[in-house]
Amino acid sequence: MGQGFLASEEEEDEQDVGKRRSGQRRRSRATDETTDVSFMHPSERDVAKLLDFYGVKYLYEPRSFPLRWDGDRVTEMFTPDLYLPEQDQYLELTTMKQSLVTQKNRKLRRLRQLYPDVNVLLLYRRDIMRLLAKHGYGPLAGADVRSIDQVLFSADQIRQRVRELGSRITRDYTGREIILIGVLRGVVTFMADLMREIDLPLTIDFMEVSQYASSRGDGVTVTRDAPMALEGKPVILVEDIVDTGLTLQFLLQHLSTKGPASVAVCTLLDKQARRVTDVRLDYVGFEVPDEFVVGYGLDYEGMYRNRSDIAVLKPVEPKIEAQR
């Protein structure tokens, strides 16, 4: 994110009326159009890459919403950056300074008043950077994010909660044999504890997904599939944490092709504040705030998995050119 970023965000606000970006510049993964993404802001491009990575379909600025009129003439409108058709979700990315955020918030309020059925989510610079950092790119990727801020859940609290989850699953699946599928690698600790709290015949399996880049663009690939036959079996997908929900959505779609009798989701942690997809969670250990958490299997750059509690990692944001 260079200096040009803030400048063009400001320009964008001035140009909001008589909007400059037209339908022909629409980008759609769904239709595999040849695309020119050079018109996007760097952060928009990065988020678009991330959506590509997860195979989430999106359109770039597909629709403008008139906000104010002078007679027949539209005097103000708002064009959210991205639209996720499968989630019916608009995303507005903002990395601007506070005065402009206030402006944007005012427009969003008006949009929600005028178009109550339209779902728009405002992602702040911080959210975007964390999202990108998590996937190894963006300005926070190499950041020195080291210090433990506070313990959220002690080892005792976790043990107690995992026991409760195990009992609920045991009750819900009485008389059946289930398959637990864990998503590597953050889930190993939770999986090991959870399965011992379930009093049913069960088998376990693991999956892993990762990113690939090819000439046709980035995508997501299953690097380790669950080799077990799932056809007609009740499956519980076990996750360490559900954040945006994009990984989960991808995995559910993948598992559904294997014809299981049912797929439930059990996650230890739920970071609901950041959800961008509509995924159903059947068993949730704890809700966590919009912070980066580590321990009990969860990592930051591979570290902290061996903590027996769950703690918040304090992010130390690096200096970014555009902020100077």
Give the catalytic positions in this structure: 243
Assess 297 for contact with Mg ion (CB under 5 A): no
Task: Pick the piece of the chain touching ligand IMP (CB under 6 A) from 159-167, 194-202, 255-263, 288-296.
Answer: 288-296
Query: Is residue 298 part of the contact set for ligand IMP (CB under 6 A)?
Result: yes
Q: Three-state DSSP class for 159?
A: helix
Can you tell me whether residue 208 is helix, strand or coil?
strand
Among 96, 179, 230, 246, binds ligand IMP (CB under 6 A): 246
> Which residue of the chain is nearest Mg ion when measured via CB?
186
Measured between alpha carbons, how far is residue 23 from residues 19, 27, 37 in Å?
11, 9, 14
Q: How far is CA 266 from the centre of its chain?
A: 17
Query: Does 80 contact Mg ion by CB under 5 A?
Result: no
| 285-322 per-residue burial string, b: 16 or more CB within 10 A, e: under 16 | bbebeebbbbbbbbbbeeebbebebbbbbebebeebeb
In the list 292, 296, 310, 315, the residue contacting ligand IMP (rule: CB under 6 A) is 292
Residue number, 111 or 220, with CB nearest to ligand IMP: 220
Contacts of residue 97, Cβ cutoff 8 Å, sequence gap at least 6? 6
234 interacts with Mg ion by CB under 5 A: no
CA distance 34 to 160: 53
By CB under 6 A, tell whether 244 contacts ligand IMP: yes
What is the distance between the alpha carbons of residues 183 and 206, in angstroms, rounded to a whole number? 6
In the bound state with Mg ion, the residue whose beta carbon lies nearer, of 124 and 300, is: 300
Q: Which of 139, 166, 182, 186 binds Mg ion (CB under 5 A)?
A: 186
Residues that bind ligand IMP in the complex, under the rule CB under 6 A: 134, 186, 239-248, 271, 292-294, 298
Residues that bind Mg ion in the complex, under the rule CB under 5 A: 183, 186
